[in-house]
Amino acid sequence: MSQQSEHRFKLNLPSADFTFVLGSSSKSRALVLNKHQISYEVAVAEIDEKAIGDRDLDQPAELVLRIANAKADALIASGKLDALAPAIVVCCDQVAVYKGRIREKPENEAQAREYLTSYRTAPVETYGGVVVYNTLTGKRAATVDIAKQHFKFIPDDVIDALVALGRVYSCAGGFTIEDPLLVPYLGDTEGEDGGWDSIVGLSLTVVQRLIEQTK
């Protein structure tokens, strides 16, 4: 159990000719790559995520894998990878799960406040679907990365400030552990390599394992 690690991850691509492509416009996932000083390109093909799966009936692991694979399918079909090949492409999706219920991005202020207040009494898990595609071999590998975040008591004025800043609306579960306002109220973080990268949205240890499976 730990907070953010200062360890820098060295990502090993199949060869120096490969481009690492982040198939996501997520600032949080870019933050992880920048933190580890990994060079990358961004290529995204938009899909209607809400049209995929059922948030009330699907298991979170199944849902995030379906959406991450759909993002990969759309990006491959778009032709945007042609100029970047050979490449290792990573597409992701993430939901938060609180007491067994899936939480995506808050839809309004009331829901954002409800989410943040609830973390005073119970931890939240993140389920991240990660898909790696090798444009040279045509192979694809996927998995679900699960992490858990505990919180200390988050005061009302901090919740007010987080909601006012608005970043909570772009994050599954309505929280982002890299937010300086929230950092003092973080408890233990559990997951791969301490869990920080997983909760932010991209565990490079997980990505590396999937890269090896696509060679």
* Residue at 8 is within a domain: no
Annotated active-site residue 93? The verdict is: yes
* Residue at 165 is within a domain: yes
Q: Shortest CA distance to 211 belongs to which of 139, 155, 122?
A: 139
* Residue at 101 is within a domain: yes
Domain span holding position 83: 19-213
Note the pLDDT of residue 5.
53
**Whether the Cβ atoms of residue 46 and residue 74 lie closer than 8 Å to each other:** yes
Q: Is the pLDDT of residue 2 over 50?
A: no
CATH code where residue 170 lies: 3.90.950.10
- pTM to 2 decimals? 0.91
Note the pLDDT of residue 4.
54
* pLDDT 10s digits, 124-182: 999 999 999 999 999 999 999 999 999 999 999 999 999 999 999 988 899 999 999 99
Q: How far apart are CA 19 and CA 32, in angstroms?
A: 17
* pLDDT 10s digits, 32-87: 999 999 999 999 999 998 899 888 888 999 999 999 999 999 999 999 999 999 99
pLDDT level of residue 7 (50, 70, 90 thresholds): confident
* Residue at 80 is within a domain: yes
How far out from the chain centre does Cα 2 lie? 18
93, 179, 193, 197: the catalytic one is 93
C-alpha distances out from residue 160 to 114, 117, 155, 200, 205, Å: 12, 11, 9, 22, 35
Note the pLDDT of residue 50.
86
pLDDT level of residue 8 (50, 70, 90 thresholds): confident
Q: Shortest CA distance to 177 belongs to which of 155, 203, 151, 156?
A: 151
* pLDDT 10s digits, 182-192: 999 999 999 99
Q: Report the 3 state secondary structure along the chain.
A: CCCCCCCCCCCCCCCCCCEEEECCCCHHHHHHHHHCCCCCEECCCCCCHHHCCCCCCCCHHHHHHHHHHHHHHHHHHHCCCHHHCCEEEEEEEEEEEECCEEECCCCCHHHHHHHHHHCCCCCEEEEEEEEEEECCCCCEEEEEEEEEEEECCCCHHHHHHHHHHCHHHHCHHHCCCCCCCCHHHEEEEECHHHCHHHHHCCCHHHHHHHHHHCC
Domain count, the chain: 1
pLDDT level of residue 1 (50, 70, 90 thresholds): very low
Phi, then psi, of 167 in degrees rounded to 5: -70, -25
